[in-house]
Structure 1
Amino acid sequence: MLRQQLQRDLSKWLFAMQQVITQLDGGGIAYRGFEFAG
């Protein structure tokens, strides 16, 4: 149960970071890196 909570929090955090990075570099290499990792 705790693990599921951690996974949800991590997913939210990664999504937020992805949004920030996409805005910073216009959806370039960093965004593709997130897609590959996810």
Structure 2
Amino acid sequence: MQFMEEEHGEDALALMRSLKHAFDPNNILNPGKIFAW
């Protein structure tokens, strides 16, 4: 995740997290991969 933040920036990662949560609110698709909550 460290390199993703350096490459894309914090705002882009926040957007990716929100999209993941919007499409997978129960976190059943690839749980714990890239964006864990």
TM-score w.r.t. the length of structure 1 is 0.48
Of Structure 1 and Structure 2, the greater helix share is in 1
Give the structure with higher Rg (CA): 1
TM-score w.r.t. the length of structure 2 is 0.49
